Structure 1
Amino acid sequence: MAAIAAGGACAFGFLQAAVAQPQVPATYYGTAAIDGKSVADGTEVRGYIDALDCTQPGPTYRGTITDGGVSVYLVNIVHES
């Protein structure tokens, strides 16, 4: 009887397929300079893994900003592995 009940539940769609959780991005931050000098505000910082751009800029991403005379960045990286 248990086998019939389980089969009936599947037939009526009571069981749902498993859904994977979304990847959580890794967040990296630091300073950005070229030849020891701060870069211009808005300079893009990207994250590459095996030649694949894995940057997840999001709606508030605006590149580097200057804080206390130093260019700083914050970037989110997601890699499907």
Structure 2
Amino acid sequence: MEQQQLFNLGTVEQPVDGTVTVRPNVWLMTSEELPPLLLTVEQVSTLLGIGRHGVYDLIRQGAIRSVKVGALRRVSARALSEYVSTLELGETG
């Protein structure tokens, strides 16, 4: 059975070599320490190294999923991770 962790965008992998990965307990973190769940278009453009208009184009094309929060457009960390994964697999044109 796959187990999902908060802020871990993949499945939990069992260590093969006996090493243990320690992940921070998000419930014990301060608000300044928590990673954002939703990224602004500007943050996405910085992370991808493209302009804001390029991010909006990718959203319009459906390559990057996004949500509206009021009048603002936001991209989840998971949606960004999935987009980058498709780029690595060569599935986008």
TM superposition score category, shorter chain reference: under 0.3
Structure with greater proportional helix content? 2
Tell which has more relative contact order, 1 or 2 (C-alpha 8 A, sep 6+): 1
Structure with greater proportional strand content? 1
